Amino acid sequence: MKNLMKPLLFLLLFNSWHSTFGQVFVKHDATGAGNGSSWADAYTTLNTALDNANEGDEIWVAAGTYKPAGMNGDPSSKFLINKFLKLFGGFIGTETSLAERGDPAIHATILSGDLNGDDITDEFDVNRSDNVLSVVVVTQDAPDETLLDGFFIRNGHAINPAWPGNSGGGIHIQGGLQVSNCTLEQNFAYNVGGGVAASNNSPNSVTFNNCHFNHNMGNLGGGADIRFKTAYFTDCTFTGNIALAALGQPYEQNGSSVFIRNSDCFFKRCSYINNEALNGAACVFFWVDANGKGFTIEVDSCNFIGNKSGTGGAFYSQTFGDRTTTLITNSAFNNNVSVDPFAYGNVTIYHQGNGANGTALLEHCYFERNESAHASGAIDIGSGPGADSSSYTIRGCTFKNNTAINRTGALGLWSEENTDAAFLIEDCLFENNQSGEAGGALLVATGSNEFSATVSRCVFQGNQSESGGAIVSFPDIITSANPVSAQLNLDNCLVTNNSCADAAILITDQVNIGLLNCTVADNSAGGLNLSSTSMAALQNSILANPGFIEYDGSNGAMVTSNGGNLVLDNSLDATLLPTDKSAVSPDYDANYFPTVGGNLADSGINSGVTATVDLAGNPRILYGTVDIGAYEGDFSIANREVPVGPITISPNPVVDHLTIELPDNADSGVMSIFDGAGKLVESGEYKSRHILSLAQLPAGTYMIKMITGNKLYFGKFVKM
């Protein structure tokens, strides 16, 4: 009798445990009692499980395809989540713990809105009349802890002209929801959120972890539309989503991956590949209304590759509200395209409207081979009419091989009339960018007296344009204002090997420019060209472009020397001071470092120099007097290392491991790595072709130096 009681007692305890945890099973081909108590006795439809589940239950759904209704069923049918539940898919149908489930993609649990099973991939206007409006609907009664994990959600078709039937073809969310390990694909919305629409003015949040948004379509937010909620996207991919005017939508066709309105939104380690929007932003569109306050968007460690839109090819932030914040860090933008004839940028950030204000930071990002059909091949950023005080910072970014048909291959800074905009561009590389009309790398366009831009410790090399091979300033094309106090300052910058028909730096409006410790050399054009209404102030700077006039003063612009300059020709003799050097060649090496005992060393003017480090990250003033040009020479030892060439670094940007290779058959040497502030973070002896682990370093821009004998090799890399 005792032995018979033991199994019975265990069974009673197991059933009690099962009831406490509220576990419900769904398996489409189960043949048991159909009460959801086990895999054998599982419900065969998901809606039955949802109807009978209690608050807090877990619903385990085996592999297979589940639909909200049968063939020719009601298109308003849906999988309704109206309480706190946790749904898990991807099971074989024998598991006893989540740990046994494995990868949900292997045993696909599909929630499909294609009731008749006749949809054609990527055809959103064929055989769709039978599809449900939204596959999954989450009401406002669902708390943030509600979970969908391990499902394929596809073929929703939110075609009704009115809300909510026109939004959220895959998932329509009014409450809170966590979505993990899910794929949303082939969903459509006539209005917003082809894959997901999350709205409702409530404190709820939505979270997406390791999700895939593939080939969804909507008018706003082909992949997802977020409104009046906080949203988090981590380790997600967005591929082939579309925001286009299809099936007669009367709306805006913005944000093919994600459209965000009046919401805080955070993206981390996400990828956006081959998405398309008719108008703004093929990937992320951030919109804040005039009454919106304090909203933030953060994009960190994301990749944007091969996306296309009318303007703002990858990312577009357009804010009319108060105290908005846009942060983009450690991210890469490659081969994105803006195709509209008046397109601006593949990352476009605007504050505009009466009182609009905020901050934007782009840090440690990489832009390569992006294209704009009009202006700003990589970034267009600034303030529209009536915007209040706003600040924009671009730090530690690399711009390579970006193009624009008309103006500025890489970066456009602008502020319209009566706006207050301050820009800081520092520690950036602009290389081999190209525009057809003006500004190979950088464009300044302003109609405001409150415009100010500082470009610090940046390199402009190999850029090309018809005018202003590296940098150009144009009048604002929207307003007719003529500012008299707009200011552009360059300090510790190198402008070299750029090409154009006039000057490497061209100012065509009333912007005033200052050059402090800059080297403008070896360009296939003159150094500086000013309009008659511009003013320039030069200090401790080099203009040395053999075969070209260093300064074109034919317009009678006012140029002031603060001393310590070196000019290769006599074009500035009327301006130069006794502390300047005229018609002499600069004594620098092939990499523009001052040579021992040359005419650059200790020949500058200290007054007004506030920088603590030079372009290479070395102390800016040694031995009491600043050197002329972008680099400071260190002559503290008799046999000083001579800079001879760059280190080959790959990949760059880098995530974990970096390969370094020295030229000239150099073998090994002592290597040092410095952070953006010039602080030594690592040193040791390394060999050429050495693979260096950088996992321990935080994200940022770093200078690398290697000494072999008396030779110094150098380079710069971005750690993501």
Specify the pLDDT at position 624. Answer: 92
**Residue 648 banded pLDDT, cuts 50, 70, 90:** confident
Specify the pLDDT at position 638. Answer: 37
Specify the pLDDT at position 480. Answer: 53
Specify the pLDDT at position 17. Answer: 37
- CA nearest to 493, candidates 472, 520, 513, 514: 520
CA distances 578 to 132, 206, 566, 604, 626, Å, are: 82, 66, 11, 12, 17
| Residue 143 is assigned to a structural domain of this protein | yes
Give dist(CA 67, CA 46) in Å, integer: 8
CA distances 225 to 112, 134, 216, 284, 435, Å, are: 20, 14, 12, 10, 34
Domain stop point among 220, 235, 254: 254
| Residue 242 is assigned to a structural domain of this protein | yes
Q: pLDDT tens digit string along 587-631?
A: 999 999 999 889 999 999 999 999 999 999 999 998 899 999 999
| Residue 385 is assigned to a structural domain of this protein | no
Q: How many domains does the chain have?
A: 2
| Residue 473 is assigned to a structural domain of this protein | no
Q: What average pLDDT does the structure give for the chain?
A: 89
> Could you give the percent of the chain with pLDDT greater than 70?
91
Task: For residues 353-374, give the mean pLDDT.
Answer: 94
**Dihedral through CA 640, CA 646, CA 651, CA 655, nearest 10?**
30
- CA nearest to 704, candidates 664, 661, 665: 661
- CA nearest to 333, candidates 299, 300, 369: 369
Give dist(CA 18, CA 24) in Å, integer: 9
The answer to whether the CB of 190 falls within 8 A of the CB of 161 is yes
Specify the pLDDT at position 530. Answer: 92
Q: pLDDT tens digit string along 165-179?
A: 789 999 999 999 999
Specify the pLDDT at position 693. Answer: 80
Q: Which residues pair with 117 in a beta bridge?
A: none
Task: For residues 114-141, give the mean pLDDT.
Answer: 95
Specify the pLDDT at position 481. Answer: 61
Q: pLDDT tens digit string along 296-314?
A: 999 999 999 999 998 889 9
Specify the pLDDT at position 18. Answer: 39
Specify the pLDDT at position 8. Answer: 41
CA distances 338 to 201, 260, 377, 464, 656, Å, are: 33, 20, 8, 20, 32
| Residue 667 is assigned to a structural domain of this protein | yes
Burial of 4 (0-12, 13-18, 19+ CB in 10 A): exposed
Give dist(CA 110, CA 61) in Å, integer: 10
208: pLDDT strictly greater than 80: yes
- CA nearest to 451, candidates 491, 478, 424, 490: 424
- CA nearest to 434, candidates 340, 369, 493: 369
| Residue 271 is assigned to a structural domain of this protein | no
Specify the pLDDT at position 2. Answer: 42
Coil/strand/helix, residue 167: coil
Specify the pLDDT at position 250. Answer: 42
H helices of 224-323, in order, are none
Specify the pLDDT at position 5. Answer: 41
- CA nearest to 538, candidates 599, 447, 629: 629
The answer to whether the CB of 299 falls within 8 A of the CB of 238 is no
Residues 474-493 as b or e (16 or more Cβ within 10 Å = b): bbbeebebebeebbbbbbbb
Specify the pLDDT at position 165. Answer: 79
Specify the pLDDT at position 637. Answer: 37
651 upstream amide cis, omega within 30 of 0: yes
Q: pLDDT tens digit string along 16-43?
A: 333 345 999 999 999 999 999 999 999 9
Q: Which residues neighbour 217 within 8 Å (Cβ) at sequence distance 6 or greater?
A: 124, 187, 188, 189, 194, 241, 242, 243, 244, 246
Tokens standing for residue 251: 């709306």
Q: pLDDT tens digit string along 245-283?
A: 544 444 455 667 899 999 999 999 999 999 999 888 899
| Residue 370 is assigned to a structural domain of this protein | no
Specify the pLDDT at position 200. Answer: 82
The amino acid that residue 669 corresponds to is G
Task: For residues 421-434, give the mean pLDDT.
Answer: 97
- Which CATH number does the domain housing residue 675 bear? 2.60.40.3080
Tokens standing for residue 263: 């919401």
Angle at alpha carbon of residue 455, lines to 452 and 461, rounded to 5°: 140
429-438, 543-552, 682-691: segment of lowest average pLDDT:
682-691
Give dist(CA 594, CA 425) in Å, integer: 25
| Residue 691 is assigned to a structural domain of this protein | yes
**Residue 645 banded pLDDT, cuts 50, 70, 90:** low
- CA nearest to 257, candidates 230, 291, 220, 229: 220
Task: For residues 396-423, give the mean pLDDT.
Answer: 93
- CA nearest to 270, candidates 204, 206, 332: 332
Residue 375's φ and ψ, nearest 5 degrees, are -135, 160
515: pLDDT strictly greater than 70: yes
450: pLDDT strictly greater than 90: no
Domain containing 116 equals 21-254
Specify the pLDDT at position 189. Answer: 93
